[in-house]
Amino acid sequence: MDRDAPVRAPRHNRDADWNAWPVADYLAENYRLLHPCDIGVIHHHAAFYRRFAPGGIARSLEFGAGPNLYPLMLAAAASRRIDALEPSAAGVRYLRDQLEGRPDDTWLPFYTLCRELDPRLPPTPAEALARVRIVPGDADALTPGSYDLASMNFVAESVTEDVAEVAALCAVFVGSVRPGGHLVASFMERMPSYRIGSGPHWPACPVDEGTLRDVFAPLTEELRIDRVAKDLTLPEYGDTGVLLLTARRRRDAQT
C-alpha cells in the first residue's frame, strides 16, 4: 500500500452524469448475449415470480431499470402494471424505443428462457412489455409504500462509492413497497468502480452478503440471499459474482 497516496473522497450518486450512461456499450458488453450470470438471475427471479398468481400483483416497480429488459419481462407474469423508474435520459430513450416499437431480437433468447421458466408469460416479448410504464426520475421521485412489489437489479451498489448511500438507496427501495410488500434484487458482489468500454469510471461500492444483511435485515422479513458465481464471459469488472436477494418489507413498518 502506498501510505503517501492522496485519499480521495468517495464519489456520490449525484457526482456521475447518468444522462450520459453509455447505453449502447453497456448493452454490447452485458446483454447482447445471454450470459451464464443472466441465466442465474433469470432462474432466481422466475422462481420468485412463480409464487404469485398471474396478475396477482397490482403495481410493481423496477428501480433503476436502465436498458435491461429481462427483469421487466419476468415481472409481467405476476404484475398488472410495472413502473420502470429510470433517471438517465439515455436509458429512458432506449426503453421508449424498445417499448413503442418491437424489442430488439437480441432480447429473444432472454425472453425464451423467461417463458420456459414461467409459461404463464404471453407468447411475445412485446405483449409482456405492454404492461410497462416508463417513469423518468430517480429514487427521490418515489412515493413510499406505493407498490406491492419492487425489483432492483445492479443499482444501489453500482451508482455510488459511499456505502452509507448504498444503504440509503436500499432503504428507499424497501420503503417503496407497502408493509409486507415483496422485494427481489440482484447486486454485483465486491465490485469496485468500473469502466464500460474505454469510457470514464462509474462509481460503485464493493458489497458482500454481510453488507446486504446489515442493510436489509432491520427493514425486512423472510430475507434470503443467494449467489451466482463470477461470470468469466463478461468483461472484468472486478466483481466476485452476483448476490440475489428476496425479502418482504417488515409488516410492522410505518408507511
Q: Compute the distance between CA of residue 57 and CA of residue 148 in angstroms, rounded to an integer.
A: 6
Interatomic CA distance for residues 118 and 112, integer angstroms:
10
Give me the least distance between CB of 101 and ligand SAM, in Å please: 20
Q: Which of 40, 91, 203, 241 binds ligand SAM (CB under 6 A)?
A: 91
Cβ at position 65, least distance to ligand SAM in Å: 6
How far is it, in rounded angstroms, from Cα 231 to Cα 220? 29
Judged by CB under 6 A, which of 155, 205, 207, 247 binds ligand SAM? Answer: 155
For the record, the C-alpha cell of 57 comes out as: 400483483
Q: Is 68 in the site for ligand SAM (CB under 6 A)?
A: yes
**Binding characters for ligand SAM, 123-152, by CB under 6 A (x = yes):** ---------------xx-------------
What CA–CA distance (Å, rounded) separates 192 from 143? 30
Minimum CB distance to ligand SAM, residue 211 (Å): 17
Reported residue count of the chain is: 255
By C-beta, is 216 or 237 nearer to ligand SAM?
237
Neighbours of 255 (CB within 10 A): 12
How many whole angstroms separate alpha carbon 202 and alpha carbon 101?
30
Among the listed residues 60, 79, 158, 176, the single contact to ligand SAM using CB under 6 A: 158
Quick check: 167 binds ligand SAM (CB under 6 A)?
no
Give the DSSP H/E element, type plus range, for residue 189: none
Q: Which residues in this chain contact ligand SAM in the complex, by CB under 6 A?
A: 13, 18, 21, 63-66, 68, 85-88, 91, 138-139, 153-155, 158-159
